Amino acid sequence: MAFTLPALPYAANALEPHIDARTMEIHHGKHHNAYVTNLNNALAGKPEESQSIEEICKNISKFPMPVRNNGGGHYNHSLFWTIMAPNAGGAPKGSLADAINSAFGTFDEFKTKFNTAATGRFGSGWAWLIKDSSGKLAITSTPNQDNPLMDVAEVKGTPILGLDVWEHAYYLNYQNRRPDYCTAWWNVVNWNEVAKRFA
């Protein structure tokens, strides 16, 4: 069973002005699509091709590098599209808000720490909010297309929010201004979806 590119859950221009339509079109239609194609090619004919992308990530050290890069790319982007939405942003509510306050002090302190992880990631990678095995929230970041599900990750957990800081995610609109992209991105975070992942 081959992996497929999930449709964007909104129009390519829906996240403007924070993320522009052309960036979304190329990011989803070219970059994510290439990860799916290359992942399918890397797994073709192997018994592992019937595994879920989560299972593959959890055992990624057993796979060759093309599966790590493209499988991570497929998992990470599939998550990324869903944790954004038009008319979103604001602050989380309920038990997720409580867990954020408990782990980081306040929502603003959480955002500052998350942005530090995102802007401080040298080169390409991701910043994450994860739920660890004890149910506690933590912020981490991974290089390239790695993610915290992977057995090779320094800090492991279940991703409930992720920010892509590869230049392909922002360069057309923000050029070298990664911090501006990271700041604007909070306006499109879909806290309802993040809360579902947390629960």
Residue nearest to Mn ion (CB): 164
Annotate each residue in 32-61 with x if it binds Mn ion (CB under 5 A) or - if it does not, as one string: ------------------------------
Q: What span, in angstroms and rounded, lies between the C-alpha atoms of 34 and 6?
A: 13
Select 104 or 185, whichever has its Cβ closest to Mn ion: 185
CB of 168 to Mn ion, least distance (A): 5
Q: How far is CA 102 from CA 52, 155, 162, 163, in A?
A: 33, 19, 20, 22
- Residue matched to tokens 């493209």: 70
User: Shortest Cβ distance from residue 171 to Mn ion (Å)?
Assistant: 11
Q: Give CA 63 to chain center in angstroms.
A: 21
β-pairing, 137-143 vs 125-131, is: antiparallel
- For residue 50, the minimal CB distance to Mn ion (Å) is 26
Q: Closest approach of Cβ 31 to Mn ion, in Å? A: 5
What are the distances in angstroms from CA 156 to CA 36, 54, 134, 146, 148?
A: 24, 13, 11, 11, 5
| Paired tokens of 104 | 């980081």
* Residue 140 near residue 157 (C-beta atoms within 8 A): yes
Q: What is the contact mask toward Mn ion in residues 84 to 123, using x (rule: CB under 5 A)?
A: ----------------------------------------
Toward Mn ion, which CB reaches closer, 85 or 169? 169
To Mn ion, the closest distance from the beta carbon of 108 in angstroms equals 27
Residue 118 vs 137, nearer CB to Mn ion = 118
Residues 169-188 that bind Mn ion (CB under 5 A): 169
Q: Which 139-168 positions form the footprint of Mn ion (CB under 5 A)?
A: 164, 166
Where helices occur in 2-123 by DSSP H, the ranges are 21-26, 33-43, 53-58, 65-82, 94-104, 107-120
* Least spacing, CB of residue 64 vs Mn ion, in Å: 21
Residue ranges in contact with Mn ion by CB under 5 A: 164, 166, 169
